[in-house]
Structure 1
Amino acid sequence: MKALFLYSSREGQTKKILHYIEEELSEFECEVVDLHSVDRVDFTQYDRVLIGASIRFGHFNKKLYQFIENNIEQLKQNKVAFFCVNLTARKEDQGKDTPEGSAYIKTFLTKSAWQPELIGVFAGALYYPRYKWFDRVMIRFIMTMTGGETDTSKEVEYTNWKKVSLFAKKFVNM
Structure 2
Amino acid sequence: MKKALCLYSSREGQTRKILAFIQEQLPEYDFDILNLHEHPTVEFSRYDKVLVGASIRYGHLNKALYQFIARYYRELTQVNAAFFCVNLTARKEAQGKDTPEGSAYIRTFLSKSQWQPKMIGVFAGALYYPRYGWFDKMMIKFIMTMTGGETDTNKEVEYTNWEKVAIFAKRWSE
Q: TM (normalized to structure 1)?
A: 0.98
The structural deviation recorded for 1:102 is 0.2
Paired residue type of 1:81: A
Give the structure 2 partner of residue 58 of structure 1: 59
Superposed, 1:25-174 pairs within 5 Å as 25-173=26-174
For 2:141 and 2:30, how far apart are their aligned partners in 1?
Answer: 39
- CA deviation vs aligned residue, 1:74-129 (integer Å, no higher than 9, x gap): 01111311000000000000000000000000000000000001000000000000
Paired residue type of 2:70: E
SS in 2 for 1:55: strand
For 2:67 and 2:23, how far apart are their aligned partners in 1?
Answer: 25
Paired residue type of 2:5: L
For 1:14 and 1:83, how far apart are their aligned partners in 2?
Answer: 9
Q: Which runs of 4+ in 1 moved over 6 A?
A: none
- Consecutive unaligned residues of structure 1, counting only runs of 5 or more, are none
Is 1:24 aligned to residue 39 of structure 2? no
Q: Identity, % of aligned pairs? A: 68
Q: TM (normalized to structure 2)?
A: 0.98
Counting matched residue pairs gives 173
